[in-house]
A and B are shown apart, each in its own frame.
Chain A
Amino acid sequence: MFFVFLWLVQDLITVFAGGSARVPQLFILGLVYGIITDERDEIKLSAIWASFAGGILWDLRWVGVPGFFTIGYVLVTLIVIHIWNLIPPQGRSSGTGWIVFVMLELSQIIPPLFPVLILGGATGLHFFVGQQFYSLPVIIFCMYLRAVKMKNENNP
C-alpha cells in the first residue's frame, strides 16, 4: 500500500511540475529502500513484481508506450537484490553506507536513462541531469532514515 502511495505522490508531483521528467523516482526509490531495510524474503519477490507493475502504470500514464520505465524499474530491482544478496546478512548493518548510496542512486539513474538512451536528444539529457539534481536530497533523506532505523535496532 505504501508503494501505491509513493507512486501516486510521484505522479502528483509530476502533474504539478507540468509533466516534466525532473521529478525524483520516488516509487522505485521506496522499493529499493524497502529491499535494503526489510530482511524478509518475500519482500524481494514482491518488489520485483511491484516494480514491473509500477513501471507499466508509469509508462501508460507518462510515456504512452509500456516498457520504457518498466525495464528500468525491474533492472534496478534485480541489481539491488543481487548486490544485497552478495553481502552477508550479519555484515549489512555496518560499513555499507556507500553501497546503499550507490544502490539508491542506481534507482534514480537507470530508469530515466533508458528513454534518454533510446530516444536521444539534448532535451532528454537536460531533463536527466535536472532529475539527478532533484533526486539527491531524497536519497540523502533515505540514508538518514536508514541510519536512524539501524541506530534504533542496535540500541533497543
Chain B
Amino acid sequence: MDNKHTVELIHGLTALILGLFLLGVSSGLGITKSIVDIWAAALLVPEYPAVVLRDLYLDWQSYSNDRDFLNAEVKRLRDENSELRRELSKLTNAKILESTNKKNVRAARVNLRAPLAWWDEIRIDRGSNDGIILGLPVFSNGYLVGRVSNVSLLSSWVELITSSSFMIPAVIEETRELGIIAGGGDGSVLLKYIPAGRGLMNGMTVSTALVGEQLAPGLPIGIISGEVENSADGYVTYRISPGAKLTRVYSVDF
C-alpha cells in the first residue's frame, strides 16, 4: 500500500470515527434539535417547488379517489332506486288488482264484437241504468282494456286500447318516464314519445298516468315487449304487451 492510499485510508477512517462519535453523542445534545430546525428552515425555499408539486399530486389523487367513490355510490343508488321502483310498482299493481277485485261488484258481459271493428270496440250488456258513465275505465283480469265511449240505457260501447283512436297518457313505473299509449288498430298497443337513450326497457310495467282526464293514475296496462321505432327527433316508440287478453274478452269489470 503506497503513501497515497494510506492517506486516503486515514482520511476515511477519521471521517468514519467522527460519524460514529456524532452518532454516539448527538442524541444526548440538546443543540442537535436546534440545528435540525435551522437546517429544515433553510431548506424551505429550495424545497418549495417539491412541496407544491406534492400537494398538487395529493389533491389530484384525492379528487380522483372521491370521483371514483361518488360514481360507484351513484351507480349503487341508481340500482337500488330502480329495484325499489320495481318493488313499489309490483306492490301498487297488486294493490290496484286487489282493489279492483274487491270492487268487482259490477261485471259486464261482452255481447257484441263486430269483425269490422274487432280491435276498435266492444259492446257490453250494462248501461247508464247500471251506473255506467262516459269515459269509465274497463278492465279484464285487473288490466285496462279500454274506456266507455258510448252509453245507452241498457248497454254501452267500450273503446279498446288497441283502437287507432285510443290515446291516453301513461307512465313507465320503473323510470317514471311519461308517454302516450296509442292503439295500432291492428291489435298492437304502442307507447309513444319516450325520450331516446334510456337503455333497455323490456319487461318494465306501464300504467295510466296522473295527467289523465277521467282515468285514475296507476291503472295497470301491460309491459314493454320491444322497441318499434327510434325517430330522428329523439323519441322512441315501444310495443306494449297488454296485461288483458284482448283476443279472449268475454267479460269485463268496471
> Which residues in B have their C-beta under 8 angstroms from that of A65?
23, 26-27, 32
Whether A81 sits at the interface, judged by CB under 8 Å, is yes
A16 touches B (CB below 8 Å): yes
| Interface set, chain A 69-116, CB cutoff 8 A to B | 70-71, 74-75, 77-78, 81-82, 85
Out of B12, B23, B24, which one reaches A48, CB within 8 Å? B12
B27 A49 Cβ-Cβ under 8 A? no
Name A18's closest neighbour in chain B (CB-CB). Answer: B54
- Stretch of A50-58, A122-130, A133-141, A143-151 on the interface side: A50-58
Interface residue? B47 (CB, 8 A): yes
Q: Chain B interface (Cβ within 8 Å of chain A)? A: 4-5, 7-9, 11-13, 15-16, 18-20, 22-24, 26-27, 32-33, 35-36, 39-40, 43, 46-47, 49-51, 53-54, 57
Tell me what chain B mostly uses at the interface: helix, strand, loop, or mixed.
Answer: helix
Give A75 to B18 CA distance when docked, in angstroms: 12
Contact A52 B15 (CB under 8 A): yes
Rounded to whole angstroms, the CA-CA distance of A13 and B20 in the bound complex is 27
Chain A residues contacting B27 (CB-CB under 8 Å) are 65
A15-B54 in contact (CB<8A): yes
- CB pair A16–B54 under 8 Å, yes or no, is yes
A45-B8, A66-B22 are contacts. A61–B43 as well, Cβ < 8 Å?
A: yes
Are the C-beta atoms of A70 and B53 separated by less than 8 Å? no
Contact of A44 with B by CB under 8 A: yes
Q: A60, B15: Cβ atoms under 8 Å?
A: no
In the bound assembly, the distance between CA atoms of A96 and B26 in angstroms comes to 40
Contact between chains at B22 and A12 (CB < 8 Å): no
- The A interface, classified by DSSP as helix, strand, loop or mixed, is helix
- Interface set of A (CB-CB < 8 Å, partner B): 8, 11-13, 15-18, 41, 44-45, 48-49, 51-52, 55-57, 60-61, 64-68, 70-71, 74-75, 77-78, 81-82, 85
A38–B15 Cα gap in the complex (Å)? Answer: 21
Residue of B nearest to A41 (CB): B4
| Selected contact of A15 from candidates B15, B22, B50, CB within 8 Å | B50
| Minimum CB–CB distance for A34 against chain B, Å | 14
Residues of B within 8 A of A15 (CB): 47, 50-51, 54
Q: Which listed residue (A11, A55, A60) contacts B35, Cβ 8 A?
A: A60
Task: Determine the distance from Cα of A116 to Cα of B8 in the docked complex, in whole angstroms.
Answer: 28
Beyond A67-B22, A82-B9, 18 additional pairs, beta carbon < 8 A: A12-B47, A15-B54, A16-B50, A16-B53, A17-B54, A18-B54, A56-B19, A60-B39, A61-B40, A64-B33, A64-B36, A65-B23, A68-B23, A70-B19, A74-B16, A74-B19, A78-B9, A81-B12
CB-CB under 8 A from A51, the residues of chain B are: 15
Given contacts A52-B18, A55-B19, A74-B19, contact A67 B24 (CB under 8 A): yes
What's the Cα separation between A115 and B22 when bound, in Å? 15
Task: Please report the C-alpha to C-alpha distance between residue A20 and residue B237 in the assembled complex, in whole angstroms.
Answer: 61
- Residues from chain A with a CB closer than 8 A to the CB of B15 are 48-49, 51-52, 74
A-side contacts of B19, CB under 8 Å: 52, 55-56, 66-67, 70-71, 74
Residues of B within 8 A of A17 (CB): 54
- In angstroms, how far is the closest chain B Cβ from the Cβ of A13? 7
Is B51's CB under 8 angstroms from A85's CB? no
Contact of B22 with A70 in the complex, beta carbons under 8 Å: yes
Determine the distance from Cα of A57 to Cα of B46 in the docked complex, in whole angstroms. 14
State the Cβ distance, B85 to closest chain A Cβ, in Å: 46
- Selected from B5, B23, B51, B57, the residue in CB contact (under 8 A) with A66 is B23
Cβ of A12 and Cβ of B49 under 8 Å apart?
Answer: yes
